[in-house]
Structure 1
Amino acid sequence: MKTPHQSLNQAASAPASAAGTAGQAGAAPGDSGRPSRRSLLVGAGATALTGATALSAATAASAGATSAVSAAPADVVVPSPDQLPLTGGPEFPVGLFWPPHPYASTKERFAEIKGAGFDFVISGNYAGDGNIFKYQLGLARDTGLQLLISDDIQIRNMSRWFSISDTPTDFLSITPAEARALYTRARNAYGPYSSLAGFNLYDEPGAGWFTTLAKALAISRELAPQLLPYVNLLPSDDPAYYRNFVDTVKPSLISFDRYPLLSAGREDANYFHNWAIVRDAALRGDVPAWVFIQTLAYNNHREPTAAELRWQINVSLAYGAKGIQYFTYWTPEPARGEGFGPALITVEGRRTSRYYAAQQINNGWLHPVGRELKPLVSESVVHANETPLPNGAVGFTPTDLVPGISGSPVVVGTFRSRDAASGDRWLLVANRSHSAPAKAVVAVDQQKVGSVGVFQAGRQKYLPQRVGPVRVSLAPGAATLIKLGVK
């Protein structure tokens, strides 16, 4: 959707050398009602003018330390996702966008976020000042949360508002040395806080910006390899957009947003297609895939039910998601002009029914099952008993371990261990419907499968079952996890 803010951002989003390509790779066809995440970020304090002032200050501050701000080396080591905040460790990351605004940033509000089962917060909602970031980092630390900072004064100047170029005469560019000086200032300002997970370098870049992002990530990894360099991508039906991101930028994860719940009960016809493309790109780069889920109504999109929240999460898990993010947590104010309805928390700060639904889903299902799925590798994802298949979906075909799946339409993600010696498989069986219950039967080859376990989220363990057909009964939007022990 073209809002005045978005048009400004698109004009500033492409380096002069890529004016014809940036911003064109990703807009989903027919999704003109998609909310402008860019407009939210611009409204949170992102301006190139204030950034230019900070750039001059950063350059002046580094004038006496030329050797400390030389160009980033080309051989910077790319840390494994296992070594970084949120992507590493056993816990499945659950995050949110558009947190409480500065006036509502209190210990009680951050405890409310933690109580709903969230692990990290992406800054925004008019938090753009360094003092506010430090205050929120302190709140996050005290409540057990982590923060990804969208810093428009240092970080965005090196990754979004200006391209990074070795040619000082390039229009709207900074040198690698200046970029390193900017990153150093942000790292030194916020790095002492244990709650700092990393920096939000760019939200929804066009493909023309990938070269600069590659340089920005290299600088981030050289100067603070312990921090997560975060980029969220556009929705797109073009596989090249995500493949080029993986090959050029060498990211630590792939995050994207696509909101499938349209008005009048419709679904985005290309939602599964986009997920299949992102899954392939994540496997190509051997990095986690994260996604945003829709929590609110806005132009041409409906308000989700609790079952529709579950459905988005479980379909994403079946497609291999290793991180779930909510768009939005706090409700954007009506003056933004995009028809935003209430999210988890209203504009006035009241909890909605979706807050309690998210709290139950996150704590009672997503975190327990996420711990099981996070270390596994997505092997396949298929739609069983669904005719016709959605665009981009693959129909079920018999396998050595699962010769058949009958009954209601379900989405089945199959996962394997990273240990090549293990033949065990995990099946995440998700209800294809967010409005009707499902019953399915998963057939098991008894000659090859030695044990069957059905995951019990409340007990964090697998309940053994007789080796044979597994009968699955799912509420709307729900899922179950089955482990097959191979003989």
Structure 2
Amino acid sequence: MDSPHRAFAPSRRTLLFGAGATALTAASASALPASAGPASAAAAGSAAAAGSAAVSASAAIPSPDDLPLTGGPEFPVGLFWPPHPYASTAERFTEIKDAGFDFVISGNYAGDGNIFQYQLDLARTAGLQMLISDDIQIRNMSRWFSISDNTADFLSVTPDEARALYTRARDAYGPFSSLAGFNLYDEPGAGWFGTLAKAVAISRELAPQLLPYINLFPSDDAAYYRSFVDVVKPSLISFDRYPLLSEGREDANYFHNWAIVRDAALHGDIPSWVFIQTLAYNGHREPTAAELLWQVNISLAYGAKGIQYFTYWTPEAARGEGFGPALITVDGSRTPRYAAARKINTTWLHQVGRELKPLVSETVVHANETPLPNGAVAFTPTNLVTAVTGDPVVIGTFHSRDAASTDRWLLVANRSHTTRSRAVITPNPQTVATIATFQPPTQTYTPRPATPTPVDLPPGAATLLKLTTK
């Protein structure tokens, strides 16, 4: 199948992840066993079919509940493009933790094993976890080469060679309790899913306690995400799409992309994660604090079980792409978005995330919005909520995994990141006993009778309601 993202230019994440790849390619090749054969990149994806049974048959698929970040009660909040090696200090990693982040995806010129170990030690001390993007070992088995039993296949390693590569990385970084897992590939095409399935299976075979992480392209092709879930059998589905365009515009297909990722996550019964935009770059504007919050809350309404920030540290100007300041500038100064992210993460996202993480996304609807964005579904009355009136809101409905529970949770998000939204949620008094509002500071709910309930949401804000049924 042709890659569904061919219409997209290389994304910002692809360009940043590739930053050191050329310099490391020779070293990567020299680290391979001698039996790895030379040749055509065109065959790399198709080579994935060979030897798949030998890899996948022995690899049990762990529950997301048993893995770092996806498991446990805490809602994972991460970042990409951390401090570069010279700025990687105990103070800087504490600064990350203080802003309410839980994990770091390595990057920003950290490509050396000694640097990774140094950063893992800093992360351990700060109480952070890391996903390591190891170009020398991990990406030789998941990105630069395919995995195939046929040594004549071009640019391939055998399953045993892939296991040897993974083992080296596991043994080098595994002693650090801050190691959450490995970043296998950023934004793969569908032709690479076969090899990634084998790489994920090897990870589960050799280190079932580590997360095999893959992030996907933005795409409006539902088959791309569904195929990823069906073929790779991932532990989660992560994607990036940055909706805040220049001149105040929004990406017209942002909700559509979220809807199909949500569908794929539900299909695989796995968590969905997303990246949010923190900076300006070509064709995209610098987010306000309300726009950061809006991206977070729209994602929560669509069922996100993890939020990642792109980027934390600002990529330098020499990279091109017109990168503006992120949370931290190139020279290490905090921008207003650092304070905004810290407030979001520490006073709202972690608290509401703990409530939403164990729940299952049931529906997502847009109320009082005409015309509807592409991919959005309009609100219609249900046996629990008979009306939503007032300003436009996006409502995600969630249920417990306990089939005996008929209670529901509503994440009501302001559709606008520029204006206040005042709406009224009317529960059905025949089926709903109480409607309660979540209070983040105390992690408690304030109940009221099942009567029309007003919500008053500043730009980008949201509230969580619990409907206790009769």
TM-score over 0.5 (shorter chain): yes
Q: Deviations over 1:163-194 (max 9, x none)?
A: 00011000100000000000000000000100
Assess if the C-alpha contact under 8 Å between 2:366 and 2:392 holds in 1. Answer: yes
The whole-number CA distance in structure 2 between the counterparts of 1:35 and 1:203 is 10
User: Which whole-Å CA distance do the structure 2 matches of 1:466 and 1:234 have between them?
Assistant: 45
Distance 1:48 1:335 in 2: 21
Paired residue total: 453
Q: Decide which of 366, 371, 379 is 1:388's aligned counterpart.
A: 371
* Of 392, 398, 402, the match for 2:381: 398
One-letter code aligned to 1:49: A
Contact 2:326 2:337 in 1 (8 A): yes
1:276 touches 1:393 (CA, 8 Å); kept in 2? yes
Cross-structure match for 1:9: none
| Alignment correspondent of 1:52 | 29
Asked if the contact 2:281–2:322 (Cα under 8 Å) also holds between the matched residues in 1, the reply is yes
Match of 2:241 in 1: 258
For residues 263 and 11 of structure 2, the distance between their equivalents in structure 1, rounded to whole angstroms, comes to: 25
| Unmatched tracts of structure 2, length 5 or more | 37-52
Tell me, yes or no, if the aligned pair for 2:58 and 2:205 is still in contact at 8 Å: no
> What is the match of residue 41 of structure 1?
17
Q: Secondary structure at the match of 1:274?
A: helix
Residue 252 of structure 2 is aligned to residue 276 of structure 1: no
In the alignment, the residues of structure 2 paired with residue 296 and residue 201 of structure 1 have an alpha-carbon distance, to the nearest angstrom, of 25
Mapping for residues 66-465 of structure 1, pairs under 5 Å: 71-465=54-448
Q: Which amino acid aligns with 2:240?
A: D
8 Å CA contact 2:433–2:449 kept in 1: the answer is: no
Q: Counterpart of 1:191 in structure 2: which amino acid? A: G
Q: Secondary structure at the match of 2:410?
A: strand
Aligned-pair CA distance for 1:37:
1.2
> What amino acid is the match of 1:53?
S
Asked if the contact 2:35–2:151 (Cα under 8 Å) also holds between the matched residues in 1, the reply is no
Matched, 1:25 2:4: yes
Cα deviation, residue 56, structure 1: 3.5
Residue 55 of structure 1 aligns to a residue whose secondary structure is: coil
The residue identity in structure 1 corresponding to 2:403 is A
CA contact (8 A) 1:102 1:127 kept: yes
Percent identical among aligned pairs is 74
How large is the Cα RMSD of the aligned pairs?
A: 1.4
**CA contact 2:138–2:169 (8 Å) conserved in 1:** yes
Deviations for 1:305-340, whole angstroms, at most 9, x for unmatched residues? 000000000000000000000000000000001000
Deviations 1:3-26 (A, max 9, x none): xxxxxxxxxxxxxxxxx83xx312
Return the alpha-carbon distance in structure 2 between the equivalents of residues 193 and 479 of structure 1: 37
Displacement after TM superposition at 1:49 (Å): 1.9
Structure 1 pair 477–73 and aligned structure 2 pair: CA distance change class (3 A)? closer
Compute the displacement of 1:44 (Å): 4.0
Kindly state the Cα deviation for residue 35 of structure 1 after the two structures are TM-superposed.
Answer: 3.9
SS at match of 1:396: coil
Corresponding residue SS for 1:426? strand
Distance change in 2, residues 1:332/1:447 (3 Å): same
What's the secondary structure of 2:153's corresponding residue?
coil
In 1, the alpha carbon distance for the partners of 2:11 and 2:460 equals: 24
CA distance in 1, matches of 2:382, 2:435: 16
> Within 2, Cα distance between the matches of 1:71 and 1:420?
37
Per-residue deviation at 1:57?
Answer: 8.2
Contact 1:44 1:125 in 2 (8 A): no
Equivalent residue letter for 1:52: A
The answer to which of 444-453 and 179-188 deviates more is: 444-453
How many Å separate the matches in 1 of 2:362 and 2:66? 23
Distance 1:116 1:457 in 2: 17
CA contact (8 A) 1:72 1:180 kept: no
Distance 1:58 1:296 in 2: 45
Q: Letter of the 1:208 partner, please give it.
A: G
Deviation, structure 1 residue 465: 1.6
**Runs of 5+ unmatched residues, structure 1:** 1-19, 60-69
Cα shift at 1:55? 1.4
How far apart in 1 are the matches of 2:167 and 2:191?
A: 25
2:379 and 2:427 map into 1 onto residues whose CA distance is 14
Shift of the alpha carbon at 1:466?
Answer: 2.5
Alignment partners' CA distance in 1, 2:440 and 2:99: 17
Aligned residue for 1:406, secondary structure, equals strand
2:5 partner amino acid: G
Normalised by the size of structure 1, how large is the TM-score?
0.91
| Contact 2:141 2:162 survives alignment (8 Å) | yes
Give, as a single letter, the amino acid of the residue that structure 2 aligns with 1:40. Answer: L
Are the counterparts in 2 of residues 35 and 338 from structure 1 also a CA contact under 8 Å? no
Cα offset, 1:45, TM superposition: 4.4
* In structure 2, distance between residues paired with 1:248 and 1:48: 28
Q: What one-letter code is carried by the residue in structure 2 that aligns with 1:326?
A: Y
Output the CA distance in 2 between the equivalents of 1:434 and 1:73: 45
